[in-house]
Structure 1
Amino acid sequence: MSASTPGHLRGVSGSSLDAVLSAVDASSDAGDELGTQLFGVVATLDSSPALRRVLTDPSTEDEAKRDLATSVFGKAVSASTLEVVRTAVGSRWSAGRDLTDGLETAGVVAILKGAADAGEVEALEDELFSVAGLVTSNADLRSALSDTTVPGAGKADLVGSILDGKAKTATVAIVRQAAHARSASFERTLQRFADLVAARRGRLLAEVRTASELGQTEHDRLAAALTARYGREVHLNVVLDPSVIGGLAVSISDDVIDGTMSSRLEAARRQLAG
């Protein structure tokens, strides 16, 4: 299991997620359509707890659950999407929520697979990072996306209208799903999706904050040092941040390496304050 998948999907749910992702990998037409249709299935199951309970009830025969899924979704989705859904409901999950979280992850992976087939994964990674930076730097947009009174569909439409014609369809689809913020904030969800994209490529994403541009030699040296430390290729996303006084602040998932002068000054101030 990758660290970028939902952290609670361990044990039996983790094994089921592996089976679902294998079904996505085996699909001959994985891409935006498969991914967005899986997101639609997730929305339906989120809005119907009773249906989700039946589809994850361990006392119900697996074939009966697959047949129910076919009757509910068969006319609304493609054959490839239905096959992934049937794999999911025929698997065991520790909790009903794990089924929908697993299908959401499968949707992201399906879109990533399509981007990989089109040779657009690098662009997808870069655009997801750019969107995260846009939201962080725009207080009004950040506030709108964190407003719990606004439905997820409305937030998805908001980010969709901003990105329309400015980003690849794969990027828009993933960002729209992140806007639903099903189990975490938009920013944390988008980061998890970006980490998933990187993990499927066998590498990690590092956000590097610095007050000035890194030269190519500095960039390569830092990437090599982080790769050696984590044992996997590390891709650097560099953010220019005037508040960083000397040094660098590096974040990889939940791991933060703060070597800035400002952090050392703050630590010294706290020490002097007793």
Structure 2
Amino acid sequence: MSTTQLRGASAASLDTVLAAVDASGDSGAELGEQLFGVVASLDSSPALRRVLTDPSTEDEAKRGLASSVFGKAVSAATLEVVRTAVGARWRVGRDLTDGLEVAGVVAILKGAAAAGQVDVLEDELFSVANLVTSTPELRSALSDTTVPGAGKSDLVGSILDGKAQPATVAVVRQAARARSASFERTLGAFADLVAARRSRLLAEVRTAHELGQTEHDRLAAALTARYGRDVHLNVVVDPSVIGGLAVSVSDDVIDGTMSSRLEAARRQLAG
């Protein structure tokens, strides 16, 4: 899943669905998790998804079908978001479920914001990504294509239960389903979505030692000035850096580490 993959009519429809999420008075956590449940149902029923996205079918008929299928399983607020989604135009059928998944993440973010826990959510998503990267057994299990998405979701849920806030667990569990990309790419897309909704960028900073508060604030200010947007730093202590900093902001890499300079010198000597 990536919001950047939704183009044309689908991008406009996503904006409409997210507006419905913003207007909802339902609990962010409940709305988000129920939307994830609707996504799972539609993923398992391609025929239903085709009917709900068929441009030749009247919008009211599609909304009525959504109500009959999901009305007893979800709250009124969730059903309203789903009815909004099926009444919109999607470039391809899968964009409906991708859009509802994005809406689920945004709903959970809304709940975290109401609780003053968005910074915690961002930090915990980054910590989970690092945990998976640094744990070969877990990374292997989450990338095993023979394991159903529901099983992977339960696995990460059991690991994080009681160790991370519920909003984080819900987002990570959904990422573990890896509907259209790997767990790591999906979780990264979700983290970027959270940051984008706050109109800021995420920067991964690799350093040989912990940054002091003054260093942290100075670097954040410099990156904010460079990119013209607030930048949130995710710091990784990496002894292989040797000295300096390696900073990644989206596809932009700023590598000022001693290890990179030594490697460049080695290549020059070898060439």
TM-score (norm 2): 0.96
Q: Residue 68 of structure 1 corresponds to which residue in structure 2?
A: 65
Letter in 2 for 1:182: R
Aligned residue in 2 for 1:196: 193
Gaps of 5+ in 2: none
Verify the 8 A CA contact 2:2 2:186 in the aligned structure 1: no
Query: For residues 30 and 88 of structure 1, what CA distance do their matches in structure 2 show?
Result: 19
Whole-Å Cα distance in 1 between the matches of residues 8 and 264 of structure 2? 41
Normalized against structure 1, the TM-score is what? Answer: 0.95
Per-residue deviation, 1:254: 2.6
Q: Give the alignment of 1:58-207 within 5 angstroms.
A: 58-207=55-204
Task: Work out whether 1:43 is the aligned partner of 2:40.
Answer: yes
Aligned to 1:257: 254
**Are the equivalent residues in 2 in contact too, given 1:13–1:92 (CA < 8 A)?**
yes
For residues 107-130 of structure 1, the C-alpha deviation after alignment (integer angstroms, 9 at most, x for no partner) is 000011011111111111121111
Contact 1:24 1:30 in 2 (8 A): no
Q: CA deviation at 1:47?
A: 1.0
Q: Which residue identity lines up with residue 261 of structure 1 in the other structure?
A: M
Match of 2:14 among 3, 13, 17: 17
CA distance in 1, matches of 2:135, 2:252: 25
> Is this contact kept in 2: 1:210–1:249, CA < 8 A?
yes
Counterpart Cα distance in 2 of 1:268 and 1:59: 63
Gap runs ≥5 in structure 1:
none
**Partners of 2:254 and 2:138 in 1: CA distance:** 28
The letter of the residue matching 1:188 is R
Structure 1 residues 30 and 256: CA distance shift in structure 2, 3 A: farther
Which amino acid in the other structure matches residue 80 of structure 1? A
Number of aligned positions between the proteins: 271
Q: Which runs of 4 or more aligned residues in structure 1 lie more than 4 Å from their structure 2 counterparts after TM superposition? A: none
Of all paired residues, the percent bearing the same amino acid is: 85
Aligned residue for 1:238, secondary structure, equals: strand
Residue 154 of structure 2 aligns with an amino acid whose one-letter code is: D
- CA-based RMSD of the aligned residues comes to 1.4
Q: Look up the match of 1:227.
A: 224
Deviation, structure 1 residue 198:
1.4
- 1:52 corresponding residue in structure 2: 49
Instruction: Give the SS at the match of 1:156.
Output: helix
Helix, strand or coil for the counterpart of 1:237?
strand
Distance in 2 (CA, whole Å) between partners of 1:33 and 1:180 is 19
